[in-house]
């Protein structure tokens, strides 16, 4: 069977790969959006934190024999703790300034983190074994689905929707959304906003770390894996607009699929297609697909 002259196995395989990439775009842009909403900071270090998550999983397995499932819990906690430290030591002092300074500071931090890991582990990648429960593939009849990829898409969907639920449907989320609108007023109502801001950045960092652990078995774990991804995620954020949580998720997954499709029909353009979509969206709808501001 063929779809548009492409063997359907290859076609569906690329779509699946696109969906996996989209899952990472969604998780990372979600974290960026939450952090931006409350802290007014575009977290350039998000890519570095994602890289740290992957390295944390790899180091935990290699040095301490901690398996994938524990790493899935432990690595995000470690990265989140680092996020809390970053917020307390650096970002806290930048609130109220032009948001550009936050971008520049986190850019500097990501250079430091990447540089240190490059010095320690070199630029060549470390490979991380797929956990044994998820090795192999399932034959669905119309395609052969690698189990681990299916798991990544499923897990990230659960995480994304969980975050959406937390922010849009719970009391804590209501505080968060209120503080995004007017932090002073929420503080006056007795909510400890500084702690909430700190934990939000930590949670955003942990989310990036979790994405890193999920990515570790399917890509080479390298010090530069984050910075290459984060630029695409920025484009995703521009396309989706940072105003809506669901918007980030949908845009992330959608662009992953678009990228996968491009890889089928015109592979040379697959690395730039997201940027092309960004240009088109900016021309037609400058605020982004889900953006609210003018």
Partner 1 sequence: MLKRLSFAAQMALLALLLLAPFLGLYPVFLMKLLCFALFACAFNLLLGFTGLLSFGHAAFFGFSAYVTGHLIKVLGWSPELALLAGAVTGAGLGAVFGLVAIRRQGIYFAMITLALAQMVFFICLQAPFTGGEDGLQAVPRGMLLGSVSLMSDTVMYYVVAAIFLACYLGIARIVNSPFGQVLKMIRENEPRAVSLGYEVDRYKLLAFVLSAALAGLAGSLKTLVMGFATLSDVHWSMSGEVILMSLLGGVGTLFGPVLGAGIVIALQNLLADKVGSWVTVIIGAIFVICVMTFRKGVVGELQAYMDRRRQHG
For binding to partner 1 (CB under 8 A), which residues are involved? 36, 42, 90, 93-94, 97, 99-101, 103-105, 107-116, 118-119, 227, 231-232, 234-235, 237-238, 268, 271-272, 274-276, 278-279, 282-283, 286
Nearer to partner 1, 163 or 227 (CB): 227
Nearer to partner 1, 161 or 282 (CB): 282
Asked whether the beta carbons of 248 and 30 are under 8 A apart, the reply is: yes
Query: CA nearest 212: which of 97, 128, 92, 86?
Result: 128
Asked whether the beta carbons of 222 and 120 are under 8 A apart, the reply is: no
Give least dist CB 262 to partner 1, A. Answer: 13
Beta strand extents in the chain (DSSP E only): 2-3, 6-7, 137-139, 144-146
Nearer to partner 1, 122 or 136 (CB): 122
- Residue 100's Cβ-count burial label (10 Å; 0-12, 13-18, 19+) is exposed
Nearer to partner 1, 80 or 102 (CB): 102
Furthest-apart CA atoms within the chain: distance in Å: 64
> CA 245 to CA 248: how far, in whole Å?
5
Nearer to partner 1, 91 or 197 (CB): 91
Structural Rg of the chain based on CA atoms:
19
Give least dist CB 3 to partner 1, A. Answer: 26
Nearer to partner 1, 202 or 223 (CB): 223
Q: How many CB atoms are located within 10 Å of the residue 44 CB?
A: 23
> CA 206 to CA 208: how far, in whole Å?
5
């Amino acid at each position: 069977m063929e779809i548009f002259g492409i063997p359907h196995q290859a076609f569906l395989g690329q779509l699946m790969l696109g969906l996996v990439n989209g899952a990472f775009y969604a998780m990372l842009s979600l974290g960026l959006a939450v952090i931006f909403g409350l802290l007014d900071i575009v977290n350039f270090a998000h890519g570095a934190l994602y890289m740290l998550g992957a390295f944390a999983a790899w180091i935990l397995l290699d040095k301490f024999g901690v398996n994938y499932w524990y790493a899935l819990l432990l690595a995000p906690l470690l990265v989140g703790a680092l996020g809390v430290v970053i917020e307390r030591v650096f970002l806290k002092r930048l609130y109220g300034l032009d948001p550009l300074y936050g971008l520049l500071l986190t850019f500097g931090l990501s250079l430091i983190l990447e540089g240190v890991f490059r010095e320690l582990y070199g630029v060549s990648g470390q490979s991380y074994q797929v956990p044994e429960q998820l090795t192999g593939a399932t034959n669905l009849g119309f395609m052969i689905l690698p189990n681990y990829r299916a798991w990544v898409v499923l897990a990230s969907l659960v995480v994304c929707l969980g975050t959406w639920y937390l922010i849009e449907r719970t009391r804590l989320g209501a505080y968060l959304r209120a503080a995004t609108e007017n932090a002073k007023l929420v503080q006056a109502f007795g909510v400890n906003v500084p702690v909430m801001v700190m934990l939000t950045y930590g949670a955003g960092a942990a989310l990036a770390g979790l994405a890193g652990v999920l990515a570790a078995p399917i890509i080479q774990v390298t010090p530069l894996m984050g910075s290459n991804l984060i630029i695409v995620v920025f484009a995703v954020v521009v396309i989706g607009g940072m105003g809506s949580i669901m918007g980030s998720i949908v845009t992330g997954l959608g662009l992953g699929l678009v990228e996968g499709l491009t890889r089928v029909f015109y592979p040379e353009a697959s690395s730039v297609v997201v940027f092309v979509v960004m240009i088109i969206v900016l021309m037609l709808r400058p605020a982004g697909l889900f953006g609210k501001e003018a």
